[in-house]
Structure 1
């Protein structure tokens, strides 16, 4: 019967085991007695392996433990928080309150290779920033421990002073496992962008080189965060950075940005355009090494339009009589950017609108040849100094929503919108993840981007319930945690868009979830439990495997997550033969989760007759009746239905 009844996994994937399985598939000879033979592995790699005693890399105290923290599975779950949600039944957006290390593990099952863009604004490690602690034994304990604000020794965990001796190491230990897990979530075309300042920028660059691969570095953008500068420093610092890496550089979806500088100054019957010189201005290219790109155009100097441009031809005729070769500013032979074939395709005699090559006289004498460039987009540059990307813009946006200043130094919506435009498409259902959500700027930016272009982008935000300070406006307004501030901001932004976009259908809702311990007692035991505790745990399982206070929707959410379903599945109650069930999707999954009411075989037969693709039954619902369970398995097998227990 074990082959006919599937058991829901108790924890998130074990990445060490999965990696070993992938190695076994790729190189079976490196597996001996179920373990990886490291020496054999090095032998196969031979010249591609580095000398471990002498190699370049980023090393710090605690790095191995930080890696284990990323690989350690978790039994934690997410519980629906419907009261703090908006448009629960229809939205595809998600807000999660909890420690992002645990949440990233939970997201692995469904969202692996499904996130198109990640943007994070992690703690900058200035000495006063909160740095997430990790005890590397059980991640959920870390989260619960931190919410009490004290560690096991009673030491405050809210700062990372540089006097502690492991100032940079503490920050790296926090970032490393989170970035390792984040990489798994990116699509092959996916991109991650990270805001950072000078405190940790050098180490973050090295860390990302290791996690994402040096070859997948895209850019380090300089942003003007503060025009006036921080004048308490020897030089008034005005900048921060956005570090951008691709999941796979060769496949990266990096898009051009709309032109906003009015550069399309001219217009004809085909639309607006700018004139771009056709001569190749790169001094490395010239007639000597690009002879096929050195040829003459012939200009009609007697017929010039209102903008001073004349038609050209590749052949001398009675109108086009003036010969023009490519020469640089010193008068030496240069070359064109296009060959004669492409040039000929872009010249249409007698139709000035269709002809995409023109010439114009220059003040120094002679003529230049130009391409009509109609592109309305351009590559993003690596310095962003627009007013809209400065921190003051983010502060103003939050103040306008709340009517008061609720958060210090929020990232501007337009800064994140610019990154969103770089890495996502409006019609692709791209998912944007931010696991250091702060005040919710990224979710707000996705909403704003969708409003601008009627996009279908979705967002997932994760934020620790970091307490707001006693004297803050947020605390005085009843918002005791930063996650509460973010939820309130997102709600206000959603309702504001609802009022502004009465006729536009974009997703202005979100489902809220809370990180929580598992609702299944059988899954709570850890691998290092002592024998006495394990025996007691096994005895307790004879009574019940699920928590008595767990709601059906809590149980179903946990089961679906661990089976690989998304956080936005459409779930509805349904009654079949007197049994209260939940359906997932369009009846694709039926779930019976009432441990107190044992179903009869006839009732289960009626459920099977509904013909779902998968049937989930709480183990406790069988109340120890193995025959009933076996009969259900046979019914489902005859109909081709997967049956799962939890």
Structure 2
């Protein structure tokens, strides 16, 4: 086990090999052969339509650089650890996205993110030191102050408009994250990106490059303010933001027909009434007679007043008779009018209505509403600027997911996306799950959140998730309570061989001495087990069982049929593990206590049973 995240370059090459195997010679991409195979579709000119910026190649290098980081469980900070599929991760989102690749590749149905808008005052991470070595980069991403918070003066810092690479820095920040996000989406998955007009044009071109222009679904205009600012210093006041919507694959999305409706507007709901006191509730109606140019079924209908109508109707006569018997056919004009089919508000509320690309604040909420939701949770205190309203996020989730899907937000902010998932599950009895990622961004001492005792934005996020979960559980008392598992991005529990440091024989000797055992001195058994599991593609929601055989302890991840051993092992305990029929077993090499004979005998036991055997 090399301990690294998914090799993005290797993954791309493997995909290209599957599609165009003839473009490879001796396992290397042959550009000339690729040109011949594609013929006239190759454009050899340098002058072509494309998005380019200073530092783009460096952004790709950052993307392609694997990580050895892991995610450490924090059960004490979690809510209902054993009964939830929701995940909250504290950590820098690029590293987290790399860690998630093996466990969640192609498994996310919807991604909702609200990244920095690049206004000139927001802070974010961008690879602007184009000449630094790999070691310098690793050192820089760990720059923290004495309290362990990421320093704005180091990696996480404002991108000022005075900066000569103002737009370039933002694009360099977004490119690797969006590329990795696309990997995580299912084939019929959707991504929603909130943005304002500072970077809308650049984001559209970047998404065309990563996702493909053919996969653009829409750009939604959302009115984020319910009032009209009276700012005479500007010719036009801003009341709108945008949500850029792309599919992983639009054709797959259409074939699977995974479109879902948004909630009916209050105006549309008002068109339903119940003049005949129908027990099924308020209804609206449509003509049963086939319209102009439509073909239907021809038969005779007699109205309640005795009028005989011989026309082409929308459905078969048997369907009409069933609807009539159920009271779902209405004759206007006191029973003398043409028949109409009833449509019930209850059914339409469940189905929703087709989405369009202008979303008003009346139906989808405003920034003021989002702030009011948050201040209510935190006892009237304003702990976060401009949070998205849950009504907006619930609508995005409703039009893109079904009731058991997984939603990702890797710019977690105050936690609005997770809050929306909680609320939808409560309202619909659904089982959607979220993965939320938030950087432990340090809060300024002058902020309201700091005065309440919060040191980082991630602490605010985690507290909101806990409070909302507790409130929902008190209201519903459901058997599947709301909650989340908390993980924190951390260094690997295992030592990493650094060949790039070896300058002399003494360096080699020192590295070999350090690798007498591969695990670090501070590594704990359960954390090592989780790292092994994550790097074998086990989802973070997986059950973990501690097994004890003859005094030896092991960690069992049933979802992937994986057993990890970090403590000790004997022939007898190995035989007990075999009875469980795992698919793979992974053990620390150190637990064999340098006995090659014991290791070989145990390895043969597992392999004879058809179980994959690995050591670290």
TM bracket (short chain):
0.7 to 0.9
Residue in structure 1 matched with residue 142 of structure 2 by the alignment: 144
Aligned to 2:260: 255
Q: 2:157 aligns to what SS in structure 1?
A: coil
Q: Match of 1:630, SS? A: helix
Change (3 A) 1:115 1:566: same
Is 1:486 aligned to residue 461 of structure 2?
Answer: yes
Distance of 1:640 and 1:350 partners within structure 2? 60
| C-alpha deviation, 1:349, in angstroms | 10
Per the TM alignment, residue 185 of structure 1 is displaced from its structure 2 partner at its CA by: 0.5
Match in the other structure for 2:214: 215
Quick check: 1:624 aligned with 2:597?
no
Instruction: Give yes or no for the alignment of 1:245 onto 2:246.
Output: yes
Give the 3-state SS of the residue equivalent to 1:548 in structure 2: coil
User: Cα RMSD over matched residues?
Assistant: 3.2
Match of 2:448 among 473, 476, 493: 473
Q: 1:423 aligns with which of 397, 400, 406?
A: 400
Change (3 A) 1:620 1:631: same
Cα distance, 1:481 vs structure 2: 0.5
What residue is the counterpart of 1:275 in the other structure? Answer: 285
Instruction: Report the alpha carbon displacement of residue 584 of structure 1 after superposing the two structures with TM.
Output: 2.0
Q: Structure 1 residues 352, 580: CA separation in 2 closer, same or farther (over 3 Å shift)?
A: closer
Distance 2:194 2:167 in 1: 17
Corresponding residue number in structure 2 for 1:639:
609
The one of 404, 426, 443 aligned to 1:451: 426
Cα deviation for residue 29 of structure 1 reads 2.4
1:520 aligns with 2:494: yes
Of 559-568 and 341-350, more deviation after overlay is shown by 341-350
d(CA) in 2 for partners of 1:160 and 1:41?
Answer: 40
Instruction: Give the distance between the partners of 1:312 and 1:165, measured in 2 at CA.
Output: 80
Tell me the equivalent position of 1:613: 583
For the pair 1:572 / 2:577, whether they are aligned, the reply is: no
**Alpha-carbon shift at residue 487 of structure 1 (Å):** 0.4
Indicate the larger mover: 104-113 or 340-349.
Answer: 340-349
Q: Counterparts of 1:398-409 in structure 2 under 5 Å?
A: 398-403=374-379, 404-409=381-386
Residue in structure 2 matched with residue 410 of structure 1 by the alignment: 387
Deviation string 1:244-293 (CA, Å, 9 cap, x unpaired) is 11111123222112424323335657664323468999xxxxx8xx5x66
Q: Structure 1 residues 458 and 59 mapped into 2: Cα distance closer, same or farther (>3 Å)?
A: same
> 1:225-248 deviations in whole A, cap 9, x for unaligned?
112244443212111111111111
**How many pairs does the alignment contain?**
588
Specify the alignment match of 2:359 in structure 1: 384
**Alpha-carbon spacing, 1:475–1:271, altered in 2? closer, same or farther (3 Å):** closer
SS at match of 2:59: helix
Q: Distance in 2 between matches of 1:619 and 1:312?
A: 88
How far 1:71 moved relative to its partner? 2.1
Taking a change above 3 Å as real, the CA distance of residues 222 and 109 of structure 1, as seen in their structure-2 partners, is same
Aligned to 1:108: 101
Say whether residues 1:182 and 2:184 are aligned partners: no
Q: Tell me how far apart the structure 1 counterparts of residues 438 and 615 of structure 2 sit (CA, whole Å).
A: 32
Distance apart, 1:386 and its partner CA: 3.1
The 8 Å contact of residues 299 and 313 in structure 2, kept in 1 or not, is answered as no
Q: State which drifts further: 159-168 or 601-610.
A: 601-610
Spell out, residue by residue over 1:77-121, the C-alpha distance to the aligned partner (whole angstroms, 9 max, x if none).
111122211122222111111111111011010100100111000
Residues 451-500 of structure 1 deviation map (CA, whole Å, 9 limit, x = unaligned): 11111111100011111111112112221000111001111111111111
C-alpha distance in 2, partners of 1:587/1:295?
Answer: 55
Per-residue deviation, 1:353: 5.8
- 1:121 pairs, out of 111, 114, 125, with 114
Residues 21-40 of structure 1: pairs in structure 2 closer than 5 A: 21-40=14-33
Radius of gyration: which is bigger?
1
Task: Tell me the secondary structure at the aligned position of residue 89 of structure 1.
Answer: helix
What is the CA distance between 1:529 and its match in structure 2? 3.8
Q: 1:395 to 1:643 in 2, by over 3 A?
A: same
Query: Are the aligned partners of 1:225 and 1:239 in contact in 2 as well (CA < 8 Å)?
Result: yes
Change over 3 Å in CA distance of 1:122–1:230 after alignment to 2: farther
Within 1, Cα distance between the matches of 2:391 and 2:308? Answer: 43
What is the aligned partner in structure 2 of residue 77 from structure 1?
70
2:525 touches 2:566 (CA, 8 Å); kept in 1?
A: yes
SS in 2 for 1:245: strand
Is 1:500 aligned to 2:475, yes or no? yes
CA contact (8 A) 2:554 2:566 kept: yes
Asked if 1 retains the 8 angstrom alpha-carbon contact of 2:555 and 2:565, the reply is yes
Comparing 582-591 and 389-398, the one that deviates more: 582-591
What is the rounded CA distance, in whole Å, between the counterparts of 2:86 and 2:428 in structure 1? 18
CA contact (8 A) 1:577 1:607 kept: no
Which residue among 71, 88, 91 is the counterpart of 1:98? 91
Stretch deviating more after TM superposition (208-217 or 554-563): 208-217
Q: Secondary structure at the residue paired with 1:187?
A: strand
Q: CA deviation at 1:142?
A: 4.6
Quote the residue 1:319 is aligned against.
none
Identify the range of structure 1 (95-104 vs 347-356) with the bigger mean alpha-carbon deviation: 347-356
Secondary structure in 2 aligned to 1:455?
A: coil
